[in-house]
Amino acid sequence: MNPTSNKKDFEELTTNLRDLAYAYLEKYSPSKQQLKIYLLKKYLNKFGNSKSKRELSNIIDTVLINLEKNRLISDELYSDSKSRMLLRRGYSINKINQSLRQKGIKSEFIKKSIDKIKEDKIEPDFISALKLCKRRRIGAVRPIGNRELFYKKDMGILARAGFSFEMSKRILDLDHEEFKKLIKII
């Protein structure tokens, strides 16, 4: 079935995909890439392989361009909101960058979002590391007797969260009273 040869099927498919996209946008606020993958999977599960994936991808792209023109999806806004949300959760700048790349966001939007974060906050990695320590009860939150025993484990947790060695060491070397003061400021 070539979409140009059968105009009625093409219009019906485009309408179905647009309706699926609207329903998905009502529930979630996805990136452009996430919506494209969702529509592709949904169509393949529903109708099987009646069309080639290249044709289907082109049709989905036209639907996404239409949604972008109507300002229903925007990777730039998605990048800004997602990066701020991840920063509030205690993610490092490196982890935020990696997470947005996995969502299919262009690097120019990621760079703009990270620059906005750096302008707004003083040392966003330090603040995020403090939040992570509080949430995971590591570092200065641990009892004094256990801090030395779990130092390597705490360092590993911070490293997997995307913090540099220097930042992890700086956070783990804080004493309990100083940590409490910094948490109250945040």
How wide is the angle at C-alpha 91 spanned by C-alphas 89 and 92, nearest 5°?
150
Quick one: what percent of the chain has pLDDT higher than 90? 72
Evaluate whether 133 touches 102 at the Cβ level (below 8 Å): no
pLDDT tens per residue across span 14-63: 888 999 999 999 999 999 999 999 999 988 887 766 677 788 888 899 99
The residue with tokens 């452009």 is 32
Q: What is the mean pLDDT of the chain?
A: 90
186, two tokens: 């945040």
The pTM is what? 0.81
* Residue 141 parent element (H or E): none
Query: How far is the C-alpha of 16 from the C-alpha of 59, rounded, in Å?
Result: 11
Query: How far is the C-alpha of 52 from the C-alpha of 180, rounded, in Å?
Result: 59
pLDDT tens per residue across span 78-88: 999 999 999 98
